[in-house]
Chains A and B, each alone.
Chain A
Amino acid sequence: MAVDRILLVEDDVELGRQIVQHLTGAGFDPTWIKDGDEAMLVDPAPYRLFILDLMLPGAYGLDVLKRLRQHSDVPVLVLSARNDTIDKVRALKLGADDYVTKPFWPDELLARVQARLRRPVLQREGAVEYGPLVLDPAARRVTVEGDDVPLTRVEFDLLSALARRPGEAITRTWLVEHVLDPDREGNERTLDVHVSRLRKKLGACGKSVATVWGIGYRLEPPA
């Protein structure tokens, strides 16, 4: 996987340096521009993401965003120090994808960046891979390291429901309603039984189906 290039537009030297550090540490390739006017002229093509501070000398951050959106769909993450809702709303309307309010922890910024860069789940009717786990919705087939895993209808539906939103916790309530056989009386206890059977059948990949406290289950992304 190629290293993702990120353009950072940040006027504060200390903060800029720190963000660059953290992005680099997280395996990204950041480019840092300190001035809004300069940002206006940048070619967005090589970058996978823009991190844009709204308070910039020279061109106001929103102007940079407006200019950028005229010819690029690159995701933009806005850094906002202001608590003014209007700025955020305006930024979102102008095409910003997300914002992070200062002060933030580096991990928070990284989480937002990663969320934006997460590769979309393959929704086509082909096989979906999660490390050794491969799920083929069309054939209703699941393999772990190439071996077929025989699953019941409910177990397969359960796994594919989790796989549709990998990394996201899904509530028990939702699963009970959407996965369990509506003709049979199903409750969360029944669901838990199905999940534990599924885990056993998946063997080594069983840990991927994680229990999330207070919520339900989640398919952990492959390590």
Chain B
Amino acid sequence: MSLRLRLSLALGLTAIPVVAGVVWVRRDLDERAYIEFVRGIVLERMYQNGREACEAYPENFPFPRRRWGRRGPGRPGGTRRPRGDDRGAPDGEGERPERNRLNEGGGGTEPIDERPPRPSDRADPREPGAPLENGAPRRPREPGEHRGHGRGGPGNWRERAFREGRGPPRVLFMAYGPDYLSRNPRAPEFPKAARKKLEAGADTVIDGVWVGLRMSWREGPCCVVLARRTGDTPITRSGDLIWTGAAICGALLLAVLLAAGPIVQRIRRLERDVRGAAAQGYGVAVPVTGGDEITRLARAFNDAGAEVKAHIDAVERREATLRRFLANTTHDVMTPLTVLQGHLSALPDDDRVAAARHEADYMSSLLHNLSAAAKLEAGGAQVRRDPVDLGELVGRVAARHKPVADKRGVALEYALPGDPVVVTGDVTLLEQAVGNVVHNAVRYNREGGRVAILLGTRSDDRDERGAAAAGAHSGDFWLRVIDDGPGVPEDELPRLGERRFRGEKARTRQPAGQGFGLSIAREVAARHGFELSFSRAAEGGLEVEFTGPANATDPESRK
């Protein structure tokens, strides 16, 4: 995941709970304020004279306040207060028309308390006879009510006022008895959830827009009030909040994406620079610009690069020293070893001399193979690419191993094509590779055994072998070493010369030459792009064949 995306996602994801929390707090505050608002109005109303009115006429409660106001506290309801839930309430027949009219005018069942529709209304003189207004000086009375009725119903007025945005919200409420049933047949059913909470002991509950209130008195038909505000409730709707939250998250995401852009670009440039520096062996420093953390990162990289460079240099110096040391040591050993071999070859043949010759031969081959291994491991620069005449090489290899083969009673012969075969490569390594194969062929042969080295090119080789090597180019050479020794079991052929000259096994002495020498041969062949294959010779023993591209023969280049 890219840095930018990760940052954006992280910030966006963090924003979600934060926004959710804000939304929740906001909702809670809204709700509290709403409850307080509704509760205040309801309590005020009920304590002023609502209770009396309600208990007097529970079926009709709440009456238009105006009625209450006119009748005053001396209404019959006052006498019935102790037990207001009796069903004989509808004795106030005179009120029915009023209520009906109100209902028709209001277009609904909702009882009302009204707040002043306009601030200017506050200036209106209070109606002295309206008990509702008593003790509520902050809440101006509602002269509009009269006007509203006069003009065809308070509902019309109310709705109009609300629609036009002139009027503040009003509270509608309904009274219920202790059993949460209203005597007023038009009252809605008390919400069950709210009822449960009230029964559980709460004084004020909210259920959606409805606020349920328990009065301080516990009995009568009006001890519980269900109230709501008209019009839109002030509680912010969840949907709006979620949209707001989503918008905030989106904005954050976008902001991070934009803000991270330059950072990401700088990091990318730094990456490019670092890669460039690494490609050049840390020899160059990364350009350092700016003054932020990325700059410090670049500086830190330069420091690390310098250390790596120093380390590499030290290692290279050490390797060069080691190589020189090995070369010098090898050289110093080679001359006395030659002398030793000279003496050994001059001694009369017997078992001990033969064994000593064998050891000397082994040491010589080991030294050369160690040098070759060191060269191969040192890598490309040490492996040269010069024209190498394979014919001369085969002659040298045969001459080198003939003395040993003669002593062992193994016939070693070679055949070259009439024309020189020239390849490109490192003559020392190639000679060592072919030499190792010949060495093995001689060494693992029995007395009276035979070894032959054959060199040819594809154009010389139109016999069955050439057909078998279909796909090879006509310019390819082949160099074959065959013997009539015991050979190697078919299933072990592919494992011959496996790369293991770094392994411990390669260092074990028996079968000393074989593992080490053949693995070097294979490595050298691979390094030159030659094929090295092992198979059973038609003559019975092992056949080892190098194949590869030969250079175009140029007689002029030959001495």
Contact = CB atoms under 8 A, between A and B. Distances in A.
B338 A102 contact: yes
A108 B417 contact: no
A33 to B, nearest CB: 17
Contacts of B413: 169, 212-215
Output the residue of B331, B340, B384, B404 with the most chain A CB within 10 A. B331
Nearest to A83: B371
Interface in B439-471: 450-452, 454, 456, 460-463
Interface size class of A (residues with CB under 8 A): 35 or more
A31 B396 CA distance: 24
A85 B392 CA distance: 15
Nearest to B395: A115
B526 to A, nearest CB: 18
A32 to B, nearest CB: 15
B321 interface: no
A82 B342 contact: no
Output the residue of A97, A111, A112, A214 with the most chain B CB within 10 A. A214
Nearest to B336: A14
B337 A103 contact: yes
Given A82-B327, A83-B372, A213-B450, A102 B335 contact: yes
B442 to A, nearest CB: 13
Contacts of B330: 81-83
Contacts of B395: 115
Contacts of B340: 103
Nearest to B406: A107
Output the residue of A81, A84, A174 with the most chain B CB within 10 A. A81
A14 B341 CA distance: 12
Interface in B166-207: none
Nearest to A217: B415
A108 B429 contact: no
A12 interface: yes
Interface string B350-385: 000000000010001001100110010000000010
B452 A213 contact: yes
A82 B337 contact: no
B411 A213 contact: yes
B399 A83 contact: no
Interface string A61-97: 0000000000000000000011111101100100101
A215 B416 CA distance: 10
B552 interface: no
A214 B452 contact: yes
Interface string A16-41: 00110110000000000000000000
B59 to A, nearest CB: 121
A181 interface: no
A165 B372 CA distance: 34
Contact of B428 (A81, A84, A213): A84
Contacts of B415: 168-171, 212, 215-216
B273 interface: no
B427 interface: yes
Contacts of A192: none
A177 interface: yes
Contacts of A168: 415-416
B543 to A, nearest CB: 10
Contact of B386 (A55, A85, A216): A85
Output the residue of A19, A104, A105, A173 with the most chain B CB within 10 A. A105
A82 B333 CA distance: 11
A88 B418 CA distance: 25
Contacts, number: 146
B82 interface: no
Given A81-B331, A83-B330, A174-B417, A105 B539 contact: no
A18 B343 contact: yes
Contact of A214 (B336, B345, B368, B539): B539
Contacts of B403: 105-108
Given A102-B335, A212-B415, A84 B342 contact: no
A2 interface: no
Nearest to A187: B463
A87 to B, nearest CB: 9
Interface in A188-223: 212-216
Given A83-B428, A85-B426, A88-B427, A104 B411 contact: no
Output the residue of A92, A106, A173, A215 with the most chain B CB within 10 A. A173
B339 interface: yes
Contacts of B399: 100, 108, 111-112, 115
Contacts of A19: 342
Contact of A86 (B341, B371, B384, B537): B384
Contact of A104 (B341, B367, B406, B429): B341
B138 interface: no
B6 interface: no
A198 B162 CA distance: 135
Given A102-B334, A171-B454, A84 B327 contact: yes
B530 interface: no
Interface string A107-126: 11001100100000000000
A105 B404 contact: yes
B428 A88 contact: yes
Instruction: Give me the 9 closest cross-chain CB pairs, A-B, nearest first.
Output: A214-B452, A105-B403, A102-B334, A107-B403, A103-B337, A103-B338, A213-B450, A83-B371, A81-B334
Given A85-B428, A100-B396, A177-B462, 6 more contacts: A21-B342, A82-B330, A103-B334, A168-B415, A169-B413, A214-B483
Interface of A: 12, 14-15, 18-19, 21-22, 55, 81-86, 88-89, 92, 95, 97-108, 111-112, 115, 165, 168-171, 173-174, 176-177, 212-216
Interface of B: 327, 330-331, 334-343, 345-346, 360, 364, 367-368, 371-372, 375, 384, 386, 392, 395-396, 399-400, 402-404, 406, 411, 413-418, 426-429, 431, 450-452, 454, 456, 460-463, 482-484, 537, 539, 559
